[in-house]
Chain A
Amino acid sequence: KAGVTQTPRYLIKTRGQQVTLSCSPISGHRSVSWYQQTPGQGLQFLFEYFSETQRNKGNFPGRFSGRQFSNSRSEMNVSTLELGDSALYLCASGRGSGLLSNTGELFFGEGSRLTVL
């Protein structure tokens, strides 16, 4: 069973640019969550999508956005990049049905490491 795939794995951008990151969840999983990981702040929740709808959103500025497609693949976009956006962006997939049968386990990808210069 293929895991969560994130692309690109590494990228370098300059301040003011925008970036789009992609995530393909595990087959059959309909929930995709995004997290930002930095040495100072640790892992912070960005947003969660389920069946193409944003279900939850973390405390990040509007420059951070995302979407989910009908095949459950997700993208996140960061506009007007700032130096502080340099981080590892992690995508996690889960069954996320909200039903009692939901085991709740999230499966993380290896992340996209963004460096903003």
Chain B
Amino acid sequence: GQQVMQIPQYQHVQEGEDFTTYCNSSTTLSNIQWYKQRPGGHPVFLIQLVKSGEVKKQKRLTFQFGEAKKNSSLHITATQTTDVGTYFCAGGAGRRALTFGSGTRLQVQP
């Protein structure tokens, strides 16, 4: 079955440093979504990417969808303490439900 892997599992950065999490699928995806889960909270939708090679930006967050539509990345520039949380990618393919990655937990040291 479809598998979606995320790396790293955990990253600890100093405030102001950049952060990147990578998502890789075992199969070609039709779309990919990213969610953020704050500590003690529930996942909240951030963005969806559909097109091959697509790049979208939300303030300090940059999302990319690979040309082959099998990988994606989320890059945060100049992290802030408000960025703390776990970032999940979720891949969609055909009629199957989204497959979530294992998440990357980000810790930001003030």
Q: Do A and B bind each other?
A: no
List chain B positions with a Cβ less than 8 A from chain A: none
List chain A positions with a Cβ less than 8 A from chain B: none
